[in-house]
């Protein structure tokens, strides 16, 4: 815990330590958290199963859980720092989702320490299912595109490739709206990529039949056609 606090506040918030790159700093924090979480939850389950209830044991297990919460905050901080420098991707958003799930799972762990009858396994399954289903239905690529546009200084070749190739059709209306607004500011190469992107969406929709109908693709195609008509 002391090491994590030192890393968090030694150089000030949202300042990268000199000995790390953004990627190294974020990945190290996440994998440290993953290992510590597994170990701590395993120890807590073993201790509550094999040993009799005791105030000292409960205090130790509570401290372990609090330390894990510090690890969660540290990992989230590192990922936000990474995202602020290199924008948001699906994997980075998935990591943040894991941290949120981990936060609630640990809350259940603390409850189980003080209430042996608490159905910890069922609680963990329920929490994971709720957040995963909610995440799946929330159209994360739309959020990713919107976030990146708000924090992107300019659209270069790499950004254009990511937007038009890595994100799903859910994000297409957001991408098309934004790129159409700045089409006079992007280079001719990026503009050609943008036109190819529109053509590809429209062509894919026209080649789809009823059996492989995709609502997101249909909405993206309709948006693309609107801008073509303009």
Which structure tokens are listed for 113?
């320490």
Could you count the other beta carbons within 10 Å of the beta carbon of residue 197?
Answer: 20
Q: Is the pLDDT of residue 105 over 70?
A: yes
Q: Which of 110, 77, 68, 96 is nearest to 10 (CA)?
A: 77
Rounded distance between C-alpha atoms, residue 221 and residue 201, angstroms = 6
Rounded distance between C-alpha atoms, residue 198 and residue 194, angstroms = 6
pLDDT value at position 132? 93
Question: Following CA atoms 43, 45, 49, 55 in sequence, which dihedral angle do they give, to the nearest 10 degrees?
Answer: 70
Residue 89's SS3 state is coil
pLDDT value at position 19? 56
Mean pLDDT over each residue of the chain, to the nearest integer:
79
Q: Which of 51, 74, 71 is nearest to 61 (CA)?
A: 51
pLDDT value at position 13? 47
Q: Is the pLDDT of residue 3 over 60?
A: no
Rounded distance between C-alpha atoms, residue 80 and residue 29, angstroms = 11
The answer to which of 15-29, 62-76, 91-105, 150-164 has the lowest mean pLDDT is 15-29
Rounded distance between C-alpha atoms, residue 31 and residue 37, angstroms = 10
pLDDT value at position 224? 83
């Amino acid at each position: 815990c002391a090491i994590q606090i030192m890393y968090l506040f030694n150089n000030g918030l949202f300042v990268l330590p000199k000995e790390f790159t953004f990627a190294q700093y974020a990945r190290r924090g996440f994998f440290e958290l993953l290992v510590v979480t597994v170990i701590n939850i395993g120890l807590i389950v073993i201790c509550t199963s094999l040993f009799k209830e005791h105030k000292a044991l409960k205090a130790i297990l509570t401290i372990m859980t609090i330390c894990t919460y510090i690890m969660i905050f540290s990992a989230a901080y590192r990922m936000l720092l990474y995202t602020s420098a290199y924008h948001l991707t699906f994997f980075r958003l998935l990591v943040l989702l894991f941290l949120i799930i981990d936060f609630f799972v640990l809350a259940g762990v603390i409850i189980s320490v003080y209430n042996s009858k608490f159905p910890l396994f069922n609680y963990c399954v329920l929490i994971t299912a709720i957040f995963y289903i909610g995440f799946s239905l929330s159209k994360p690529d739309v959020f990713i595109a919107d976030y990146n546009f708000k924090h992107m200084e300019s659209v270069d070749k790499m950004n254009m490739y990511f937007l038009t190739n890595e994100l799903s059709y859910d994000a297409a209306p957001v991408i098309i709206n934004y790129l159409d607004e700045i089409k006079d500011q992007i280079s001719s190469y990026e503009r050609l990529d943008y036109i190819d992107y529109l053509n590809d969406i429209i062509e894919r929709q026209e080649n789809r039949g009823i059996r492989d109908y995709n609502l997101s693709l249909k909405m993206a195609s309709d948006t693309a056609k609107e801008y073509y008509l303009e």
